[in-house]
Chain A
Amino acid sequence: MRNKQSFCLPAVALLFFQCSTKKLLVENFSENFTGQYLYETSKFTGQKRHTIYINPTVQMGQNIMAETAVKRDSWVVIPAIIFNYWDARFSLKFGSKLVTEPIDSLMISTLTKEIYRSCSFNLTNNPLKAEYELLISIDSLNGKGFYTRGAMTLYLLFASSYDVWERAGPFAIEMVTTYKLLKNNETVFERQFSSLGNTGPYSREVSDAVPLQKDYVVRVVETISEVIKNTNSSIAKNIDGFLVGN
């Protein structure tokens, strides 16, 4: 009986680490971080001619406001006598709750700042004073990524060795947005823009002092910021181009 207990110990320890990994991952991906970003477009300093009203109601596609989901895809445990090994792979699905600000209001506020910064037209809060009205809809926002954590232990009579590894990413995010410019309630300009971004793959060895999961979740939020930033830059640039031509 005692022998059985001894052999069970490493397996129990490994299972404990595996369970704690998922718990920690769920915890980290339940946090939320600001989606604001730094603007990199050049500042417009000339005379602003046209005036636009941005409709604050952003139409949202299905499942955009979903929660982040963590799912274990596969796991391996080898509880041998002198060698133990475990490895678990998780898939993560992006949920907009990962971002502190609601996606629609983040979109509007960052687009407003972008237009003030880089565009040759003005914005107004009063639709009656505006020449044009801008309508935005987020058709889809999807993101998916991976995370793997594993450990290996090797023990002899008077010595032991272990290794822990983490691998994360790439976490890819795609956002599809449609925007329309209306004049006297008639569409004069319409475009759809698909913005892609990903965290890239990276890994951590046990010697690194910082856990990878926290870094990973911040990178995911940074990626969604980049995706929104690219979308906003494209909207601002295209509308600016249209208005300059008119």
Chain B
Amino acid sequence: MKTFQCLLFNLFISVFSANIAAQNYKSRYKIVSLDMFEHQVDVPARVITTRYIPIPFDLESPKKYFFTSFDTDTLLCSGIEIIFEDDFYKLSTNNHLEIGSEIYSFLTACVFLNTKMYDEAIAILSQEFEEPRFDFLRRLLLADCMYDKNMDRKSAINTSFQYYQDAHDATEDTLSKTLVKARLNYIRHNEK
């Protein structure tokens, strides 16, 4: 009977810990292509606990492409993946990136955002970029900066809301609009 009691106790602990583990999650950025996001959006719970940063396409080995490609989209995808993996020091070792170019400025703003230097990120992201492909992402990340910068949750929502609306209006793509809506649910749901 002692064995049986031990088994019951084991079972109780395992069910209990699984229940606790299920409720512990942390909010974070996740880099996804819009194609991938289309699949993620089907899992509602994931959408409200994750902030997705959309990139044009997925790369199998972003670090490799970051140092070999001259294509802006590829540099954008690989650069963002590297930055949000906290390997942002690699940005300075890329000889393809011309200092002062738009892609360089944009990636630098991402570094500031990831390192929680919001004022510096806002200073870059508030400027208009000539390259239209940055426009939606720039507005989205600017809204994120506005939300994260403000420590009070209520005023953070009020301040960032118009910026999320601007990002929403800046794109005609339905999936990108869905992504902004998911962001609104993220800020609704998550404590600061």
Contact = CB atoms under 8 A, between A and B. Distances in A.
Q: A and B from one assembly?
A: yes
Interface of A: 2-3, 6, 9-10, 13, 17, 33-34, 36-40, 43, 100, 151, 153, 155, 157-158, 160, 162, 164, 202, 204, 206, 208-212, 214-215, 218-219, 221-222
Interface residues of B, number: 39
17 contacts: A9-B8, A17-B15, A34-B157, A38-B165, A40-B177, A43-B169, A151-B15, A155-B11, A157-B3, A160-B7, A164-B18, A164-B19, A204-B45, A209-B25, A210-B49, A211-B23, A215-B48
Contacts of B46: 210
A156 B167 CA distance: 56
Interface stretch (B60-68, B75-83, B178-186): B178-186
B161 interface: yes
A100 B187 CA distance: 13
Contacts of A221: 188
A33 to B, nearest CB: 4
B41 to A, nearest CB: 12
Given A6-B8, A100-B154, A208 B184 contact: no
Interface of B: 1, 3-5, 7-12, 14-15, 18-19, 21-23, 25, 43-46, 48-49, 154, 157, 161, 164-165, 168-169, 177, 180-181, 184-185, 187-189
A214 B48 contact: yes
Contacts of A219: 44
Given A218-B48, A221-B188, A209 B11 contact: no
Chain A contact surface mostly: mixed
A39 B22 CA distance: 34
A40 B7 CA distance: 57
B14 A212 contact: no
Most buried by A among B157, B177, B185, B187: B185
Contacts of B189: 33, 214-215, 218
Nearest to B165: A38
B12 A36 contact: no
A166 to B, nearest CB: 10
Given A215-B44, A219-B44, A209 B188 contact: no
Contacts of A13: 12, 15
Most buried by B among A38, A151, A160: A38
Contacts of B5: 6, 9
